[in-house]
């Protein structure tokens, strides 16, 4: 074989070997996904100009399609939106190193888009050429074309991205745009420059977020340094001190209060409900007969009372059909062995007071006799008639007189 022919064959074999090693199977298409390679020291000249204190960087590549970037022994494709993301990441890192704040609210904007990528193959290296389009906020446009070469395809392309970003710092138009004669101003000293500080005049020493606003950890609208009730659950309405509202002022916040609207000054339990010490269903602040034994049936005033249904008109003999009512009273006595009760007889004002005194006393005695016969010790009972001297309601109406005709049990020690 002639020497020149042998040399050509060797070159072809070397190239094919390199392609197979780098790309794998040579018969299928390949998709190139970029990765961020830090810009090498010295690639970017230290700017001799003062960069603004904040910049907004935007990925201006709108297409997410995979586009062909090279065709040798197989096709290669790339997503230029992803490539631009890589460039944005590199630029962000470089600016942050220089103390620049990256913020969407910055008045300075840089729009980046990698618009074209091409691969080419040499004898002992693979080349990658790309175009980085940059648009500044004041309308300046520049296209930066850079090339990277390496034996490794990925290194060549990622290096091209790094070189394009590095070239931005050397472009005169971009330099002019990023140059500022302003001194970094932070009037309230919170670490956020004035031009992006949404909460100027924050008090000294108050911790702030990236917007320059005081932290509000529980999100109740009251900043932490003023919040007297930190840790309020999300969504709970609070007052100006950051404390949950307590509309009825009972000491239990509205979001936990199961008895809203409690009158001012009324003592409540942990759920905001008025106390009911004797458990009769009538809260203490309305209970006219506190200390009623457990199980006793009470009226709306919390008093252990039986109406005039026990007796016929002008009689003091208990009607048999109402014995079950008194049997319930006996059950209460049995459940409360230490219970002592005064049985009170009351009437309306129909008739003379002397007559009603005798009638009320006889009715109280009749109830006491029934209880004694049912096994309740006499020492636990006393009976007294109060005629119509202690009315519960007006005797001017039929309804009021009916309420006044009653037998009432008053516990005592």
pLDDT tens-digit series, residues 372-381: 999 999 999 9
Among 170-174, 181-185, 246-250, top mean pLDDT goes to 246-250
Q: Is residue 377 within 8 Å of residue 306, measured between CB atoms? A: no
Mean per-residue pLDDT, 323-348: 93
Tokens coding 84: 């631009």
The pTM of this model reads 0.49
Tokens coding 173: 């138009």
- Listed range (8-17, 19-28, 310-319) with the worst mean pLDDT: 19-28
In this predicted structure, the answer to whether residue 102 has a pLDDT above a threshold of 50 is yes
State how far the Cα of 339 lies from the Cα of 277, in Å rounded to an integer: 17
Q: Is residue 212 within 8 Å of residue 197, measured between CB atoms? A: yes
Q: Is residue 169 within 8 Å of residue 47, measured between CB atoms? A: yes
pLDDT in tens, 177-216: 888 644 456 778 888 888 788 998 899 999 999 999 999 9
- 163 against 51, higher pLDDT: 163
Q: What proportion of the chain, given as a percentage, has pLDDT over 70?
A: 86
pLDDT of residue 381: 95
Give the DSSP H/E element, type plus range, for residue 129.
Answer: strand 126-136
- Listed range (37-46, 223-232, 288-297) with the worst mean pLDDT: 37-46
How would DSSP label each residue in 239-286? -TTSPBP-TT-SSS-TTT-SSTTPPTT--B-TTSPBP-TT-SSS-GGG
Mean per-residue pLDDT, 130-152: 92
54-59/101-102 β-pairing: parallel
Long-range contact pairs involving 318-323 (C-beta distance under 8 Å, separation at least 24)? 318/366, 318/367, 318/370, 323/370
State the burial class of residue 5 (Cβ atoms within 10 Å of its Cβ: 0-12, 13-18, 19+): exposed
- The mean predicted confidence, pLDDT, of the chain is 85
pLDDT of residue 227: 95
pLDDT of residue 34: 61
pLDDT of residue 17: 41
Going along the chain from its start, the domains and CATH numbers come out as 3-178 (3.40.50), 292-412 (3.30.1330.60)
In this predicted structure, the answer to whether residue 389 has a pLDDT above a threshold of 80 is yes
Q: How far is CA 122 from CA 70, 117, 146, 385, in A?
A: 13, 17, 17, 123
pLDDT of residue 32: 58
State how far the Cα of 44 lies from the Cα of 67, in Å rounded to an integer: 30
pLDDT of residue 180: 61
Closest by CA to 128, choosing from 60, 202, 78, 181, is 78
Q: How far is CA 169 from CA 80, 134, 190, 209, 362, in A?
A: 22, 12, 29, 30, 111
């Amino acid at each position: 074989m002639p020497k020149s022919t042998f040399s050509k064959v060797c070159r072809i074999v070397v190239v094919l070997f390199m392609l197979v090693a780098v790309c794998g199977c040579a018969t299928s298409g390949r998709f190139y996904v970029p990765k961020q390679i830090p810009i090498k020291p010295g690639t970017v000249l230290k700017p001799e100009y003062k960069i603004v204190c904040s910049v907004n960087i935007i990925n201006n590549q709108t297409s997410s399609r995979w586009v062909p970037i090279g065709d040798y022994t197989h096709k290669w494709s790339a997503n230029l939106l992803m490539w631009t993301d890589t460039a944005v990441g590199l630029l962000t890192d470089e600016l942050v190193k220089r103390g620049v704040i990256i913020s969407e609210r910055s008045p300075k904007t840089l729009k980046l888009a990698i618009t074209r990528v091409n691969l080419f193959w040499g004898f002992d290296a693979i080349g990658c050429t790309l175009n980085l389009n940059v648009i500044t906020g004041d309308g300046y446009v520049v296209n930066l074309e850079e090339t990277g070469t390496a034996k490794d395809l990925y290194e060549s392309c990622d290096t091209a991205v790094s070189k394009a970003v590095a070239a931005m710092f050397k472009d005169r138009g971009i330099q002019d745009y990023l140059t500022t004669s302003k001194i970094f101003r932070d009037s309230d000293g919170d670490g956020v420059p004035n031009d992006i500080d949404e909460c100027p005049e924050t008090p000294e020493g108050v911790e702030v977020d990236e917007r320059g606003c005081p932290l509000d950890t529980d999100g109740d609208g009251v900043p932490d340094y003023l919040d007297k009730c930190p840790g309020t659950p999300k969504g709970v309405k609070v007052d100006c001190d950051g404390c949950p509202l307590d509309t009825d002022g009972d000491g239990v916040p509205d979001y936990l209060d199961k008895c809203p609207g409690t009158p001012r000054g009324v003592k409540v339990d942990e759920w905001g409900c008025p106390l009911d010490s004797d458990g009769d269903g009538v809260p203490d602040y309305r209970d006219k007969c506190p200390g009623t034994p457990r199980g006793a049936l009470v009226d709306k005033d919390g008093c252990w009372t039986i109406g005039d249904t026990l007796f016929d008109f002008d009689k003091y003999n208990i009607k048999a059909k109402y014995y079950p009512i008194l049997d319930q009273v006996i059950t209460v006595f049995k459940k409360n062995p230490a219970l002592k009760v005064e049985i009170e007889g009351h009437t309306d004002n129909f008739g003379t007071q002397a007559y009603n005194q005798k009638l009320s006393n006889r009715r109280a005695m009749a109830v006491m006799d029934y209880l004694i016969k049912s096994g309740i010790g006499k020492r636990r009972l006393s009976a007294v008639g109060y005629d119509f001297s202690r009315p519960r309601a007006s005797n001017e109406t039929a309804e009021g007189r009916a309420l006044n005709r009653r037998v009432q049990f008053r516990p005592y020690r």
